[in-house]
Amino acid sequence: MLPKYKRILLKLSGESLMGEKNFGLDSEVISQYAREIKQLTELGVQVALVIGGGNIYRGMNEAESGIERAQGDYMGMLATVINGMALQSGLEKEGVYTRLQSAIKMEQIAEPYIRRRAMRHLEKGRVVIFGAGTGNPYFTTDTAGSLRAIEIKADVILKGTRVDGIYSADPEKDPSATRFEKISFADCISKNLRVMDMTAFTLCMENNLPIVVFDMNKPGNLLRVVGGENVGTLVS
C-alpha cells in the first residue's frame, strides 16, 4: 500500500484511552492503538502524537472545583504526560522506537520540546509523542496538536474520536444527522460545527493544514485513512 500522507500528527483524546472504564487507562486500548501505529511506521509513515488528559483530569470550572483555571490547566498538562508515557510504553512493547517530548521541563521522564530535534526523530522513523500541551494554560490539547503539526510540517492532522466523522448535528442525539465526507473550513465555521476549538481550527485554516476526523476505535481505520480511503470526514 502506498500511503497518501508521509508525515502525520495523530490527535487522540484522553477519554479514548479509558476504553469502557470511567477513569484512567485501559491496557487493551493502549495495545490496540500501539499495534495500529506500528502498522503505519512499517509503511514508512512518520507519526507524531498529541494526547489529551481528560481520562485523568478534566478541567472543571473554578466555581465547582475551587481550583483556579490556570492551576487546573497545568494539572491537565501533567495528565497528558502520564498518557504519553503509557502510550510510549505500549509502543515500545510492540518494538516501536519512540521519544516523549514535553512542553514543560521534566528531564527525568521526557525530553524538552525542541522542534528541530522532533523533526530529526521523525526522519529516523521514531514516533514522537508531544506531552504537556503547549506548555501554557488557557490552550487546549487540540491547539497543541494544531501548533505542533504546523511546526513539524505535518501533511495532515488525524483526529481520532468516538464518531466516524463530522455530522450536521450530534449523531448521538439527533438520528437524522448526516455525515459529511468532505467539508471546507469556511463551511464548518458557517454551520457552527465544533470540529476543534476555534484557536486550533483557525491555526489549521490559516496554514492550509487539512484535518481528518474519524473513528479511531474501529480497528484498521487509522491505516485506511493514511492509505487515502474514504474514511471519516476531510476538512480542507
The candidate with the shortest Cα–Cα distance to 78, out of 48, 55, 97, is 55
**How distant, in Å, are the alpha carbons of 130, 141, 146, 186 from that of 208?**
22, 19, 11, 12
Instruction: List residues bridging with 48 in a β-sheet.
Output: 9, 128
pLDDT computed for residue 175 by the predictor: 86
> The C-alpha cell of 61 is what?
470550572
pLDDT computed for residue 162 by the predictor: 86
Q: What are phi and psi of 216, to 5 degrees?
A: -75, -20
> The C-alpha cell of 232 is what?
471519516
> The C-alpha cell of 21 is what?
472504564
Output the DSSP codes for 147-215: HHHHHTT-SEEEEEESSSSEESS-TTT-TT--EESEE-HHHHHHTT--SS-HHHHHHHHHTT--EEEEE
The candidate with the shortest Cα–Cα distance to 141, out of 11, 7, 16, 10, is 11
Q: What are phi and psi of 190, to 5 degrees?
A: -65, -35
CB 45 within 8 A of CB 3: yes
Structural domains in the chain plus CATH codes: 7-235 (3.40.1160.10)
Q: Report d(CA 47, CA 37) in Å as an integer.
A: 8
pLDDT computed for residue 78 by the predictor: 97
> The C-alpha cell of 114 is what?
525542541
pLDDT computed for residue 60 by the predictor: 66
Q: In the chain, which residues have pLDDT < 50?
A: none
- Summarize pLDDT for 95-130 with one digit per residue, the tens: 999 999 999 999 999 999 999 999 999 999 999 999
Instruction: List residues bridging with 156 in a β-sheet.
Output: 8
Q: In what order do the strands lie in the sheet containing 111-112?
A: 111-112, 98-102, 127-131, 46-51, 7-12, 156-161, 211-215, 233-235, 182-183
CB 141 within 8 A of CB 194: no
